[in-house]
Structures are given as structure tokens and as C-alpha cells.
């Protein structure tokens, strides 16, 4: 029952953060430039029409009342409408969020498959050549701006070498998207047996995914390395050696005990990939929520911006909550209560 109480307590601590996130989101939106009424009406409306629209949209109500309306809409699942398309923001985002997630998952897969083994090897072979290379690659990775890396890769691998496709989104123009089942093109085309589309969607996702992975590889490799090193220096590892356990077993222990910090970093990476997607999506014209947010900022469409910041904040906070809870499950020393 201790674990249950621990989880409940985590959730309770989560509530003020949720509240804070909505507060920040609302404040930013409140100060966004542009007249929502003008955007909503479009064209060059008359002064009277503008005034009428402003009253209708509640722009003259006091701040606290607008926040209250925002919160009550939010609690009923209403993120407002896009002024431009007049569609609910929820639908607009729903159309695009899977593109962002698909890209993030593919990148995450690359990161986990490469980053964790690399970190483990450089910890076990500390100060070897592999370690130095891994560390240098790691530091370089966090030092390269993702948008620049994307552009350079596009230039080299698309314009010059012609290996990768142009940065034009999820599929080449003129190709229909696969029948919508999950919204992930790779999964959908696989499920509907459309191998041609599967190949194309893998081809088109490869370069943006590689770029995202390269930029996010460093933290995982680093964290894995330092977590494993940290464990290797512990007394109980020395004791295990003194007890004559085979090195293989000792490495296994070290890996197992280093798992929690590694999991935390993976969680954080997902958050960073979602926030970093705003740049990658712009570079690769990837039709995800980041690109949508940028377009909304450019056209002063307030509700989608508000929704975007809210969703990213919530995702980030939720990941933090989940890693906290994961600690409770894995580490027997956590004192519940």
C-alpha cells in the first residue's frame, strides 16, 4: 500500500503545477500581439463590425473573468477555435500531432539503439579511444543547432549526393496517405499491406529522424555513461569483485542499477524532442504541431498558439511525473508516504 500512497502524493503535487501551466499559457496568450477580432473577421472589416466582434469574443471582459472562462472551457475539453479556419483547435492539432509523434518515436528508437550501448561501452572502457570518441561526439551533438544540422544534411545528402528525399514532409507530393488506422504512416501502410507507401514513408521520415536523433543522442549517451560509472565506483561493486563474482555478472549488476537514471533521461529526451520538433518541422516541412504553431504565430491566430504551449507543457510535466512514479516501482529504498 506504500507504493499507492506514494503515487497519490505525486499526483497531488502535480495539481499546482497543472494550475501554473495554465496560468503561464493564459498570460502569454493575453499579451500576444494582433487583434483577435480582426483576424477572426479577415479582410478589412468596418469599425462597427470589429467592435461587435470584440464584444462577442469577450475581449472587453476583465482579465480574471477571461481566465475563468478559459479554465472552464479547458475543463470541458474546449481549446477554442482557430480564427483562420474556424475549426476547433482540438481537431487541427489532432490532425497534426501524430506526425510529430511518429517522427519523435522513430528518432527515439534510433537514439535508444545507438545511445545506450555507446554510453555503456564508454563507461566500461573508460578513457579508451571509444570513450573519447563517444564523449566528443556527445559534446558535439549538443553543440550543433538542430536547424543548421538539418539544413547541412539536406544540402549534402539531398542536393549533392541525392541519397535522401527532398525536405517536403511525410510523403512525396501526389502520393495519397495510407488508409487512416492509427495515423502513423509507417504503421498504417504496413497494416493495409501497401508496401510502396511504407517504403516511401520510411524514406521520407529518415532524414528528419536522423537529424533529431543526432541532436538528442548526446544526453542519453552521457547520462548512460555517468550512471554506469557512478554505479561502478560503488562499494557494493567492489564487494562483488571481492566475492569473486565474474566480471560479466558485475557488469550486469551495474547496468541494472544504472537503469533508473537512464530511463529518466529517455523521458526527458521525449520532452526535448517534442519541443525541438518546432525547428525540425520547419526545416523539413514536416506537417506536425510545431510547424502549425509557427504558422499560427505568423498569422496571429491565438488559440492554436495557446493550445500548443499548453500541450507541450503538459506533456513535459506528465513525463516528469511518470519518471517519478517509475522510481517508486524500481527503487526499493524510496520511502513511501
Q: Which residues from 66-95 bind other proteins, rule CB under 8 A? A: none
Which residues are CB-contacts of 89 (< 8 A; sequence separation ≥ 6)?
79, 80, 81, 82, 303, 304, 307
**Number of residues near other proteins (by CB under 8 A):** 73
Cα dihedral angle (31, 37, 39, 45), rounded to 10 degrees?
-140
Residue from 4, 8, 20, 133 that binds other proteins (CB under 8 A)? 20
Q: Scan for cell 495515423, then name that residue.
A: 183
Residue number with CB closer to other proteins (190 or 225): 225
Binding of residue 145 to other proteins (CB under 8 A): yes
3-state secondary structure of 87: coil
Least CB distance from residue 199 to other proteins, whole Å? 26
Least CB distance from residue 19 to other proteins, whole Å? 8
Q: Residue 261 is placed in which grid cell?
A: 537514471
Residue number with CB closer to other proteins (187 or 294): 294
Least CB distance from residue 112 to other proteins, whole Å? 20
Q: Which helix (H) or strand (E) holds 49?
A: helix 47-56
Q: How far apart are CA 226 and CA 254, in angstroms?
A: 11
Binding of residue 51 to other proteins (CB under 8 A): no
Residue from 155, 203, 329, 336 that binds other proteins (CB under 8 A)? 155
Binding of residue 123 to other proteins (CB under 8 A): no
Residue number with CB closer to other proteins (190 or 255): 255
Using CB atoms within 10 A of its CB, is residue 162 exposed (0-12), middle (13-18) or buried (19+)? Answer: exposed
Binders of other proteins among residues 310 to 329 (CB under 8 A) are 312-313, 316-317, 320
3-state secondary structure of 244: coil
Q: How far apart are CA 163 and CA 235, in angstroms?
A: 51
Binders of other proteins among residues 238 to 297 (CB under 8 A) are 238-247, 249, 253, 256-257, 271-272, 274-276, 278-279, 282-283, 293-294, 297
Residue from 309, 322, 325, 326 that binds other proteins (CB under 8 A)? 309
Residue from 144, 191, 229, 325 that binds other proteins (CB under 8 A)? 144
Binding of residue 143 to other proteins (CB under 8 A): yes
Q: At CA 271, angle to CA 268 and CA 274, rounded to 5?
A: 150
Q: How far apart are CA 17 and CA 30, in angstroms?
A: 20
Q: How far is CA 211 from each of CA 102, 141, 151, 204, rounded to the nearest angstrom?
A: 14, 10, 9, 12
Per CB under 8 A, the segment of 54-62, 101-109, 181-189, 235-243 that binds other proteins is: 235-243
Binders of other proteins among residues 204 to 223 (CB under 8 A) are none
Binding of residue 8 to other proteins (CB under 8 A): no
Binding of residue 154 to other proteins (CB under 8 A): yes
Amino acid at each position: 500500500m506504500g507504493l499507492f500512497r506514494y503515487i497519490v502524493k505525486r499526483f497531488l503535487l502535480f495539481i499546482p503545477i497543472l494550475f501554473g501551466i495554465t496560468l503561464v499559457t493564459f498570460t502569454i496568450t493575453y499579451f500576444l500581439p494582433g487583434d483577435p477580432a480582426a483576424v477572426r473577421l479577415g479582410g478589412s472589416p468596418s469599425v462597427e463590425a470589429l467592435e461587435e466582434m470584440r464584444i462577442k469574443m469577450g475581449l472587453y471582459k476583465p482579465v480574471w473573468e477571461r481566465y475563468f472562462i478559459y479554465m472552464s472551457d479547458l475543463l470541458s475539453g474546449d481549446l477554442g477555435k482557430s480564427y483562420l479556419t474556424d475549426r476547433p483547435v482540438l481537431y487541427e492539432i489532432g490532425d497534426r500531432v501524430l506526425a510529430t509523434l511518429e517522427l519523435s518515436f522513430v528518432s527515439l528508437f534510433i537514439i535508444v539503439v545507438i545511445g545506450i550501448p555507446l554510453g555503456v561501452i564508454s563507461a566500461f572502457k573508460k578513457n579508451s579511444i571509444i570513450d573519447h570518441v563517444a564523449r566528443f561526439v556527445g559534446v558535439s551533438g549538443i553543440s550543433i543547432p538542430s536547424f543548421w544540422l538539418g539544413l547541412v544534411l539536406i544540402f549534402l545528402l539531398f542536393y549533392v549526393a541525392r541519397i535522401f528525399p527532398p525536405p517536403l514532409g511525410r510523403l512525396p507530393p501526389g502520393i495519397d496517405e495510407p488508409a487512416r488506422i492509427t495515423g502513423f504512416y509507417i504503421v498504417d501502410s504496413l497494416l493495409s499491406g501497401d508496401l510502396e507507401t511504407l517504403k516511401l514513408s520510411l524514406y521520407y521520415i529518415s532524414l528528419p529522424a536522423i537529424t533529431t536523433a543526432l541532436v538528442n543522442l548526446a544526453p542519453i549517451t552521457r547520462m548512460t555513461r555517468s550512471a554506469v560509472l557512478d554505479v561502478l565506483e560503488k562499494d557494493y561493486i567492489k564487494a562483488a569483485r571481492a566475492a569473486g563474482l565474474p566480471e560479466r555478472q558485475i557488469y550486469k549488476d551495474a547496468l541494472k542499477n544504472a537503469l533508473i537514471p537512464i530511463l529518466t533521461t529517455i523521458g526527458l529526451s521525449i520532452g526535448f524532442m517534442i519541443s525541438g520538433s518546432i525547428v525540425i518541422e520547419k526545416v523539413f516541412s514536416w506537417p506536425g504541431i510545431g510547424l502549425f504553431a509557427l504558422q499560427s504565430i505568423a498569422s496571429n491566430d491565438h488559440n492554436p498558439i495557446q493550445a500548443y504551449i499548453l500541450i507541450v507543457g503538459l506533456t513535459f510535466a506528465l513525463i516528469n511525473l511518470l519518471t517519478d512514479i517509475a522510481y517508486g516501482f524500481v527503487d526499493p529504498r524510496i520511502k513511501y508516504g
